[in-house]
Amino acid sequence: MNSDVPSAAMMVPVVKVARFMETLQGDVLDDVFVDEGLVIVENFAPHIFSGPTARRDWQQGFGVHARGLSELVHSFGPAQDFSWTGDLAYFSLPTRWGGKVDGRDFAEEGGWAFVLGGESGIWRIKSYVWAVTCFELSSPDV
């Protein structure tokens, strides 16, 4: 049965990716991404992660990107533009990140667009794209 918002089961892999980004604990990524055909577009090089090593390459790339980050915390706004047909679902998710970068407070707002695939009775991320819409960094201490 379709609804206007992603189900709790559909949100599980999304929340796990955010938890990984906050903690860098790779074990939270088990069963998060599809086994084949994963595509991730990010704001850190090489920006497009695809193919059989997409998850590994993205995980390593985020580890490099996250150097200097601490106290990272996310919050989600209400899902937008949700649609679900068969074993595919799409939605965009307003997201706010906050924490410290090199000891300075920062806030980043953006949108995550997700395509999920139903596999083995669970939802997994088939693709996501991250887009920053606002970034604020506190002034350095003088």
CATH number for the domain including 112? 3.10.450.50
- Residue 31 in any domain: the answer is yes
- Residue 142 in any domain: the answer is no
Residue 96's SS3 state is strand
Number of H helices, E strands in the chain: 2, 7
- Residue 25 in any domain: the answer is yes
pLDDT (0 to 100) of residue 56: 96
pLDDT (0 to 100) of residue 1: 45
- Residue 109 in any domain: the answer is yes
Q: Is 117 within 8 Å of 123 (Cβ atoms)?
A: yes
Give dist(CA 43, CA 62) in Å, integer: 10
- Residue 2 in any domain: the answer is no
pLDDT (0 to 100) of residue 119: 74
Domain span at residue 114 reads: 8-137
Give dist(CA 94, CA 105) in Å, integer: 20
Give dist(CA 29, CA 118) in Å, integer: 16
Tell me the mean pLDDT in the region 13-18: 98
- Residue 65 in any domain: the answer is yes
Does the predicted model carry a pTM greater than 0.85? Answer: yes
Number of domains into which the chain is organized: 1
Give dist(CA 103, CA 105) in Å, integer: 7
What radius of gyration do the chain's Cα atoms show?
15
pLDDT band, residue 2 (cuts 50/70/90): low
